[in-house]
Chains A and B, each alone.
Chain A
Amino acid sequence: MIRSGRGGKSFRVVAILALLGAAAFPLYWMFVTSTTPSSELFAADARLIPKPSEIGVYREAFGGTSVTTWVRNSAIVAVGTTVLSIALAIFPAYALSRFRFRGMGVVGFGLFITQMLPEAMLVVPLYAIFGDLALLNTLSGLILANSAFTVPVITWILKGAIDGVPIDIEEAARIDGCSRLDIVLGVVLPLVAPTLAAAAVIAFFHGWNEYIFAQTLISDQDLRTASVGLAGFVGELSTPVHTVMAIGLMYTLPAVIFYLFVQRYVVAGMTAGSVKG
C-alpha cells in the first residue's frame, strides 16, 4: 500500500524525480557533450552546463552531413516496418487465437523459432536472396527484412490480447450481420487497441534502431539510415565526439516524440463493462 498524506506524497515526488533524472540524464549528457569542444572533452573536471557559444555544432552537423536524409530514411523504415508488421500480424494472431486447426502448435512454435536465429546469421543468405529479388539498396527491402523479425513477436502479443476478447462479443457481431473480416476490423481491433499501440512501439523501435541489415543491404549514400550514418563517424584514428553527440540527439528525439504520441493509447481497461465477469 502506498501511504497517503503529506509525507507519502513528497516521498513519491522525490522517487519519481529520481527515476526521471536517471532516464533523462543520458540525453542531457549528450547535449552537454555536443557543446563541449574536443579540446575540453577529456579535461579532468567534466562540465555539467552546456556551452551556448558552441551551439554552432548543430549547424555544422546539418550542413556538413546528410543527417536530415538519414533521419528521414530511418523514419521511412521505422514507419514502414510498423505498418507492415501490424498488417501482417493481425490475421495470423486472430487465427491462432480463435481457430483450431491441424498444425496449429507447429505454426505457433515456428514463430518462436524465428526469434532464436540471430540477425547476423541471416545477413548473408538474406543478401543473396535480396540480390536476386532486386531488393538490395531499397528502403522497401529493408522494411521487409525488419518486418520478418517483428511479425512473429507482434503476432504472439496480439494473439494474447485477442484471447482476452470475450467470444460472446464476436458472436453478437455475427448475429448482427458481421462477416469474419468485419469482426476482426470493426470489433476485435478496437478492443485490442492498447496492445496494438504497444506492438507499434516495438516495431517502430526495431525499424528505427536496426543496424546490421541497414549496413549490409544498403550501400547507396542517399539511402543510409541514421544508425549507419552515425556509425560512419567513428573513425579509425579520430571520432568527432561532439558532432556524433549532436547527431545522436537528433536521432533520438523523433523516437521519443513517437513514443509520447503512442503511449496515451497504451491504456488498459477498454473491454471493461461489455461482458459481466
Chain B
Amino acid sequence: MTEQWAWSLAGGVMIGTAALLLYALSGRIAGISGIGFGLLTGATDRAWRLWFLGGLIGGAWVAALSTGLAATPPPVSTALGLSMAGAGLLVGIGTRVGNGCTSGHGVCGLARLSRRSLAATITFMALGMLTASAIQRLAGV
C-alpha cells in the first residue's frame, strides 16, 4: 500500500484548498464542529452551514463513487455501538468546550498562527495517540 500516502497528501491538499476558499471568499473558518454546532444554537445563519455540510457529504459521495476508496464499516455489534455513542458524546462535548476540532484548530488555526489552536492541536493529538495506544494494549487488538 505504498500509494496510500499519495492519496492522503492529495486529500490533504484538497482539504486545505477548501478551507482557504471559504476564508478567501466568505471570511469564514472551515471548522466542521463549529459549522455543525451553529445549527443547534438557533442562529439565523443556518443556510450557508447546511450548504457547506450538504456539500461535504455530496463531495464524499462523488469521491467514493469515482475512486472506490470508501471504507467498509465493521459488522454491527452492541459493544462497538456503545463505544461509538460514548466516543461521540466525548467528541461533541470536547469540541464545543474547546472551540474546535481537527479542521478548525488543526488546519485553519495553525495557519492563522493562533497560539490557542497550537495548544489545542498538541493536546488532542497527544490524547488521541495515548488513548488509541492504551486501548490497543488493554484490548490486545
> Are both chains from one complex?
no
Instruction: List A residues at the B interface (Cβ < 8 Å).
Output: none
